[in-house]
Amino acid sequence: MEIVKNTVVSLNYTVHDPDGNLVDDGANPLVYLHGGYDAIFPKLEEELHGKSVGDKLVVKLQPDDAFGEYDESLVMIEPADLFPDNIEIGMAFERVGEDGEEDMLFRVTDIADGKVVVDGNHPLAGTALVFDVTVAEVRPATAEELAHGHVHGAGGHHH
């Protein structure tokens, strides 16, 4: 079966940066609903369209096709007293927008001299990614998966 709109695709994969450093070892297969459901990067989905079980491909995504370019304006220095006492580098906080909705995730990248540096960029922003993928399985999506816009069951979403 070919990968076409409304199929569920399972991929065995690894992801490296352009220097060959491992970014994701693909310990668990990537399972997604194919056809514009925003489950994977659009360029990767485009490259997979029409492929079949056993097909292998290497797809390089530039930052704009992956997690975007690094945006210096998303790095802020805040007074430490705005944060809990147990704040640590690596912790993440969701900023809540004026409408009360969660707006953006910020990571703590440094703490010094009563200040906390937070960064709203994805950790891989500004990095090109090289996906090495093998199509492991392709099946038609169920009516429920199509109605919900995501995969259910093993490797997918569970309610």
The string of pLDDT tens digits covering residues 19-72 is: 999 999 999 999 999 999 999 999 999 999 999 999 999 999 999 999 999 999
Boundaries of every domain in the chain = 7-67+127-148, 72-119
Q: What is the mean pLDDT of residues 89-100?
A: 79
Distance, CA of 41 to CA of 38 (rounded, Å):
7
Per-residue model confidence (pLDDT) at position 93 = 86
| pLDDT of 156 strictly over 80 | no
In this structure, are strands 75-79 and 102-112 parallel, antiparallel, or unpaired? unpaired
Question: At the top level of CATH, which class does the domain 7-67+127-148 belong to?
Answer: alpha beta
Residues ≥6 apart with Cβ < 8 Å to 142: 152
Token pair, residue 60, equals 């390089």
The model's confidence at residue 155, banded by pLDDT at 50, 70 and 90, is: low
The position carrying tokens 């927008």 is 97
Distances (CA, A) of 81 to 94, 105, 108, 114: 17, 19, 14, 8
Q: Does the predicted TM-score (pTM) go above 0.95? A: no
Res. 154 pLDDT band, cuts 50 70 90: low
Domain 72-119 falls in which CATH fold?
A: Thrombin, subunit H (2.40.10)
Give yes or no for residue 102 having a pLDDT over 80. Answer: no
